């Protein structure tokens, strides 16, 4: 019997892009709540694995380049083989390319949409087949403020994250009655490698800070509570929801 509805003991979580930033923050929060972690990424998430094991949990590295859908079935198979199951999937891996829409290239469009949307769907599908067969599972997609807003100079990123919002709802519609919860977290402005250019731009950084009621950029650790909640039995009746963790950005 779980000590609290937020207890993840005995669960196995696959977290993509777990080597740094939001992915690492979520992986560590899930591990602290009791989950074992399969850390998926192009570069080995050795620091994350070390920290997960320091929390007393099992951890495994699954090497995969999610710029194509080639590895998706193997990711699920490896996680199950190495850790004995798959209960939670966090689709965090993503990239961003910036340019004026008048100059945006097909290469930058395809690279972002393939990683952020196409691979996410097919990884949901691969994990979903396993979870539906088991009759339970939790999928957490990482959306964005640009799931709700247009943004500027990131057309393929905005399109991909808007797509994540729709995909999350569609999969919830199909799989809720099969015991699988599909929801998303929409991070606000989080201090990571992906946002380094914005943080370094004095004008944009000031504009962003002025709009965040909390008065600061978020940190990867700020995503942890939402991830544990959506991965746990506490959220069993939540389906197709996009939870903004944004310091109040959308409320302004």
Catalytic positions? 157
Output the six-digit token pair for 32: 């602290």
DSSP one-letter string for 93-130: --------GGG--HHHHHHHHIIIIIHHHHHHHHHHHH
Alpha helices in the chain (DSSP H): 21-32, 46-54, 72-83, 106-113, 119-134, 155-175, 196-200, 202-211, 224-231
Q: Residue 26 in contact with residue 90, Cβ under 8 Å?
A: yes
Give the angle subtended at the CA of 71 by the CAs of 121 and 93, to the nearest 5°.
Answer: 55
Q: Residue 64 in contact with residue 71, Cβ under 8 Å?
A: yes
Q: Residue 23 in contact with residue 92, Cβ under 8 Å?
A: yes
């Amino acid at each position: 019997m779980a000590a609290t509805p937020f207890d993840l003991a005995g669960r196995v979580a696959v977290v993509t892009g777990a080597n740094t930033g939001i992915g690492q923050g979520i992986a560590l929060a899930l591990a602290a709540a009791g989950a074992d972690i399969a850390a998926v990424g192009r570069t080995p998430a050795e620091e994350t694995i070390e920290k997960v094991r320091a929390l007393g949990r099992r951890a495994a590295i699954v090497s995969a380049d999610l710029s194509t859908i080639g590895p998706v079935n193997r990711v699920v198979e490896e996680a199950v083989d190495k850790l004995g199951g798959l209960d939670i999937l966090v689709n965090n891996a993503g990239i961003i390319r910036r340019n004026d829409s008048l100059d945006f290239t097909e290469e930058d469009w395809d690279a972002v949409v393939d990683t952020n949307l196409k691979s996410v769907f097919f990884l949901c599908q691969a994990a979903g087949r396993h979870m539906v067969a088991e009759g339970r599972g939790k999928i957490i997609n990482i959306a964005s403020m640009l799931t709700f807003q247009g943004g500027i100079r990131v057309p393929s990123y905005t399109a991909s994250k808007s797509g994540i919002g729709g995909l999350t709802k569609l999969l919830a519609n199909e799989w809720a009655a099969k015991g699988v919860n599909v929801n998303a977290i929409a991070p606000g402005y989080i201090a990571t490698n992906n946002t380094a250019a914005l943080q370094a731009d004095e004008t944009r950084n000031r504009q962003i800070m002025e709009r965040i009621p909390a008065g600061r950029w978020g940190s990867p650790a700020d995503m942890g509570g939402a991830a544990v909640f959506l991965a746990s039995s506490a959220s069993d009746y939540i389906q197709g929801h996009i939870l903004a963790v944004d310091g109040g950005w959308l409320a302004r």
